[in-house]
Structure formats: C-alpha cells, structure tokens
Amino acid sequence: MITYAEVEKLRSSWVADQSVLSLYVYVPPASAGLGELQVRAADLIEAATELTPDALHREDEVAARRALGQLAGERPGYTLGIFVSEQLGLLDVVQLPGRFAERAVLATRPHLRPVLAALERYPDHRIVVIDDRHAWLFTVAGDRIEVVTRVPAEAAPIAAFGGWYLEPSDDRQRVTELAPHRYEDAAAILDRQARHGNSQPLVVGGHADGVRHLLPLLPRAVMTEYAGSFAADPRTMTLARARELAAPVTSHWAEQREWQLVQAVTARRPGKPTAIGLEECLAAVNGGSADLLLTADEPIVPGFHCERCAVLSVSSDGCCDWGAASWPVPDLLEEMVWRMLHAGRQVVSARTLQCTAAAWLQ
C-alpha cells in the first residue's frame, strides 16, 4: 500500500481548472463482472461532473476506466483509487485493502481522504516473534517489510537503532535465521526504542507461553502501543507469514482506537473543549484551535476557500472578504484534513461518527 511520503507527493500534483479526476471503486471478492464495475464508475463520474461542471477531460475518464478494467480482476476485496490528469501526465492507482467510500471527485489536486483513512486502519507497525531461546523484531510498512532487526548475543548493540542491528531482508527469509535473545533483553530493547520516540503499534507473535512471558516485562510506554498477539511456531515462521498474521491484529487495534476516540470526543466531557458538527469544526480549523479532528467517511461537502484570508466556508461569502477571492472546493472535509495535517495536528476518519465532523480543541 502507499506510504505517507507517497501520499504527500501525490498531493503536490496541481492544476488550476479542477480537472484532476479521482475515482474510488470497490471490487467485491466475488465480482459479478467487470461490466457492473464500469457502470458504477460511470455513475460516480457523472455525479462528479454535476458537482463540478465543465471540468472533466473525457480522455481522463477513458484512462481511469481503462485502468479499472485492467486491475479489477487482480484485486478482489480491494478499493481501487485511480488518479488521472493528462494535463499533468498523471495516472496513478492505489490499492486499498477492504472497502472504502466509493466516489469520483474533480478538483485541483487528487482527492486523498480515503487513502488517508486506509493508512490509519492498516498502520505501519512492529512485530516481535519470541520463544524461550530467541527474539526477533521487524517493522512492516504497507505491503513491505522494510527492515529486519537482529540482536547477535555475542556483539554489542548499536545505540542509534535502539540496540538492534539492522539488515535488509525479503519476504522469503525465514525468521529463524536471526540470532538468540532472552525475554528480559527483548523487553529492554523495546523500552529503549520507546524512549527514542518509536510509537508504532506493536504485535507479539509466538507460542502462547512465550507471549505470556514477555508481556509482563514490557514497560508502560511500550504497552500503550501494544496492539495484540498471534499464535505461531517461531521455528517455521517466515516474514511474509508474520506480516499476514499481524494484519488483522493491527486492523482491530485501529478500529477500537477509532471507536474510543469517537466516544471520548462526542461525550463533551467537562474540562475538555470540543466542537461538534461541521460549522463548529470549520470555525476551529479556521482559527487553528482544533487539536484532533474526526471526520465521517461518507460525506463530501462542497464549499469555498478564500485565497486572501485562507478561510474555509460553506458559502462563498463566508469570510471577511465577502467572497471577493473565494474559490469553490469539492470537499471541505478534504481541505480541513490537510490543513490539520500540515499544522502537525491529528486527524482520524471515523466510521462510527454520527455527525459530519467533531474535534477536540486546544
């Protein structure tokens, strides 16, 4: 799957005439046929042209539907995000695991809210596989295992990497090629990683007794990122299999975290200022007071952006310039999300949110 850095690069694509086509289509596990997907794509694109008339370049629609036809049969159970602009020389396809909101959007940039939601729900993470003689740690980013970390018992650790040696690897390498280590030392190394700022979710795999031995030794800072565990025999485990077993664990962890945030924000607890609904959240984002923004998955909310004062609004005259420099945007939620991210604030796309948006304030 795509990385945050690649999303930022895609976001940098820009045209002035709102002609960049973003198309999201879900491919069912047992698809009734490519024809139905093409009909669905055509309906989505038609809806986008009604919202943003005279912007679609028909060659972009042809390219998007051609890409859908070529890839749909290879990715059942995935949502395909297709981004096209012949003007920019852009044709990119992102494969999102599972079902995300289907839509077509015409804008000055690629529409990326569903991609950001996928990155939240399938986060990069760490996996520890452990037994009574060995411990191994590696990191997962999207569909790739970027690095395997190793602790040779006979050598001194490298402080720059939290005590772990780093070696390149591939999915076929067996985890049992790595070196032995004990539960206490594994916990200590994870503790050092936490102190170095590594806050990725942690999944522990191995025999049940091995997992039970490790968990009580993990410091509180590490346990706050503990996502869960899976059962496996470390002696026969491959990296690809470890990644496969960890995926539903991290997905469940992300879903629970999302639900807890929705409950906490919408409860309006005393002493924690909140904004509920689009109007309140727009004011908070425009004023820079939103610390955490929750957005609902489905809605696309048209609005305006003022080039002079940078205010986002539902109406063209919703800023101090009374619309003199306001330009339409197809989705205010997309603009709010990116403003929050570029300010270093937190954003979560929430499946269970009952309103359009909600926020914790500073």
Domains of the chain: 4-112 (3.30.960), 125-262 (3.30.420), 267-361 (3.30.1330)
- Mean pLDDT for 339-356 is 96
Instruction: Please calculate the CA angle 213-151-147 and round it to the nearest 5 degrees.
Output: 105
Is pLDDT at 319 greater than 90 in this prediction?
Answer: no
Cα of first residue to Cα of last residue in the chain, in angstroms, is 33
Provide the pLDDT confidence category of residue 156 given band limits of 50, 70 and 90: very low
At 55, the pLDDT band (50, 70, 90 cuts) reads very high
Q: What is the pLDDT of residues 287-318, one digit of tens each?
A: 999 999 999 999 999 999 998 888 999 998 77
pLDDT at position 173: 57
Assess contact for 301 and 332: CB atoms under 8 A: yes
- Residue 62 sits at φ, ψ, to 5 deg, of -60, -45
Please report which confidence band the pLDDT of residue 4 belongs to, taking 50, 70 and 90 as the band edges: confident
Alpha-helix runs per DSSP H in 18-177? 34-51, 58-71, 113-121
Closest CA to 294 of 253, 255, 349, 355: 349
Average pLDDT, the chain: 86
Higher pLDDT, 48 or 319: 48
pLDDT given for residue 130 in this prediction: 85
Q: Among 185-189, 216-220, 250-254, 270-274, which is the least confidently predicted range?
A: 185-189
Residues 69, 34 contacting (CB under 8 angstroms): yes
Integer Cα distance of 237 and 173 in angstroms: 9
Cα 104–chain centre separation: 19
Q: In this structure, which amino acid lies at residue 217?
A: L
Report d(CA 248, CA 117) in Å as an integer. 16
